[in-house]
Amino acid sequence: MLKELWNKIVSGSDYILLTMQAEARFVVYVVIGLIALYFLLKPFVRFVMALEWNAFITYLFVILLMCLIMTRFTAANDWKYFLYAVAIFSIVLSVKRAISIIK
């Protein structure tokens, strides 16, 4: 049973490597990049969590998610307007935070 499953996995991976080499290479590079970024950013995230900067972590998550959405659903090559939107979003959050601190 397990040997048959293993043979199917091996034959599937052989098929992928023979027919889609560029795509398989791209996936491997992305996985390696994600692993590297995970271990590089892990100390920074722990530091930010220790400082209890939950708004900052949420801000970073929202910006990264919006970048993903922008690249997926739009064909705009000009990121200038996206950066303007990020700047406006940052200013609004900063003003909101300043008002809550002042009160």
Structure confidence by residue, pLDDT tens digits, 5-17: 888 877 877 777 7
pLDDT of 79 higher than 80: no
CA dist 14 and 90 (Å) reads 48
Neighbours of 48 (CB within 10 A): 15
CA dist 36 and 33 (Å) reads 5
Q: For residues 93 and 43, which has the higher predicted lDDT (pLDDT)?
A: 43
pTM of the model: 0.48
pLDDT recorded at residue 67:
76
Structure confidence by residue, pLDDT tens digits, 58-72: 777 787 777 777 777
Of the candidates 23, 30, 21, 25, the residue with the CA atom closest to the CA atom of residue 68: 30
